[in-house]
Amino acid sequence: MRIINTTRDFRKVKNKPRIAVALGGGGARGCAHIGVLKVLQQENIPIDFITGTSIGAVVGSIFAISGSATAIEEKFLQFIKSKVYRKSGLDLFKRKEPAESFFGQVATTLKQRVVVNLAQSKSSLVGGTRLQLVMDFLIPDGRIENTKIPFYPIASNIVSGEPVIFKEGDLRSIVAASACIPGFVPPYRLNGYLLVDGSVTCPIPVLPARELGADVVIAVDVGQKLNDNPQLDNVIHVMFQTQHMTARHYNLLLLDQADVVIRPDVGMVHWSEFKLANYMIEEGERSAREALPELRKIIKEKTGRWKKLFKQN
C-alpha cells in the first residue's frame, strides 16, 4: 500500500481514540453514504478523518471540505437534475439484473462481436472529460490537505496493482482518479501514476484507515449483494457470477477489520441509478440509526481504555 507524503501530521499524540469513517465503492449506491453521515453528524459522533474509495471518495470529499452532510445531499440532488448528469452517460447503462462489472453491463446490452471489436480498439467507452465534468460539478475547488476534516482518498495503480492513498494534492483530480471506473473512462494519469478506481484494490478502505492511525473504524458497505438467482445460461454469465463471488468474499475479509459495519440495504440497486438517490439516502439514515447503540458502546469502551492509559503515562 503506497502512501503519498503529507504535511498533515496524522499520527500526532492523542488522549482519546481516533474515529475514522471508511466509505466504500458502489457507484450510485454510494448515495447511502450521505444518509449515514447525516446521522453521525446529527448524533454528534466525532469523525477524526475519512477514507474513501470511488463514490466513497466523492461523498467523503464534499463532507470533508464542507463539514456538512446536508450540503452533500443538496449537491447530489442538484447533480441529478443537471445537464452534466445527462451528458455523463451514467443513465445509459442500466440493466434489469444486477452486474457489478461494467464490461458485463455492456456485453449484455450490445452484440458480443461489437463489444469485442470495441474492447480491442479503445481503452474506455466514454472520454475522461465526462468524468472531470462530474467532478467539477460535485466537488468544490481545493486541496486535500486543507479540508476541514482530514480526508484520504484511495485510487488503484493499474501498473503495480497497489492501492495508493493520497493525503495531499488537488482534490478534484485525486477524487476523479479514485472514481475512474475501468472500461467506462480511461485510466487517469496523476503524479506519475496510471490510476483506476480505488475499489479495484480497496473496495472498502478499512485497512488504510487503520494504517493512518484509527482506533475505531466505522465501515460503510454499499457493495452489491450476490445475486441468489443468477442467469447461468452462458459463459459470460457464469464468469461474472464467479468474479462477483470473489469480490464479495474479499469485501467480507476487509469488513472483519472494522469495529462497526453499517450496511444500507441498497445491494440490488444498479451502480448507475443515481435517480434513486432519495431512497438510498433514507436507507443510509435508517441503517446508521440501527447501528448507533453498537457504535456508542464501542466508542465508550475505547475511550475508557484511552483515559486509563493516558492517566498511567
Cell reading at 184: 467506462
Contact 46, 19 (CB under 8 A): yes
Q: How far apart are CA 37 and CA 12, in angstroms?
A: 25
Backbone angles phi, psi at 152, to 5 degrees: -135, 95
Question: Nearest CA to 69 among 81, 57, 61, 78?
Answer: 61
The catalytic position among 48, 54, 88, 156 is 54
Alpha helices by DSSP H, 227-276: 235-255
One-character DSSP codes across 60-96: HHHHHHH--HHHHHHHHHHHHTSHHHHHHSGGG---S
The catalytic position among 197, 215, 221, 259 is 197
Question: Nearest CA to 26 among 278, 252, 270, 285?
Answer: 270
Q: Is 101 considered catalytic here?
A: no
Q: How far apart are CA 210 and CA 171, in angstroms?
A: 22
| Residue 252 CA from chain centroid, whole number | 15
Cell reading at 119: 474492447
Q: How far apart are CA 141 and CA 74, in angstroms?
A: 17
Q: Is 197 considered catalytic here?
A: yes
Q: How far apart are CA 152 and CA 175, in angstroms?
A: 10
Alpha helices by DSSP H, the chain: 31-42, 55-66, 69-80, 83-88, 102-107, 112-121, 128-138, 171-178, 206-211, 235-255, 277-312
Q: Which residues are catalytic?
A: 54, 197
